[in-house]
Chain A
Amino acid sequence: MRFMMLLPASAKPLEKAVAVPDKELVTAILKFNEEMAKAGVLLAAEGLHATSKGSRIRVSGGKRIVTDGPFAEAKEVIAGFWMIQVKSKEEALEWAKRCPLPENGLIEIRQVFEMTEFPPELQPKAAKA
């Protein structure tokens, strides 16, 4: 089963952290990524730029309203993510606990939908990504 390990962060501190990345943290995360790859667990790992470079689109009644970042009002935005292939949620949790995050760091683990989990009537060819 696949899990996404998400990094929720406050928008404002993230803006600063991304502008001047912490060398020690970047190095520690690289090592962690290599460990997960060696264990055959890692599928993807990506970091995101600050929200000042981002956009949001709200779709409402056929209208598309675009708002440019930063999203300073957002309590939580995503700083990055990992996609891992593991045998259980417990294994995902064990990997998350080993992540070299700094004080007050936060990881969210969410299971990824597999095509086979969708109800049969929702598995036409149209459902393939």
Chain B
Amino acid sequence: MTGWPQLDRFLHTDPQDVGCTDALDVLHVCAELAAAGHPVEQQYPGVVAHLQACGPCGDDFDGLLAALRDEAV
């Protein structure tokens, strides 16, 4: 029974998730890879798993990526 698919997804934890500290440590590297069109998940799968699960870190990544893309225009 999965009455609340959103709750099911929220409670799912990815064992690859590296956590905030390790993800933020390489956020700038991942943002440059993404801005250059490289698949970040190949080099940093645990970081990508974290960014997908952690709203604040994901938001920081989106902000940094937006800054790089804005700069490139």
Asked if A and B are interacting partners, one says no
B residues adjacent to A (C-beta < 8 A): none
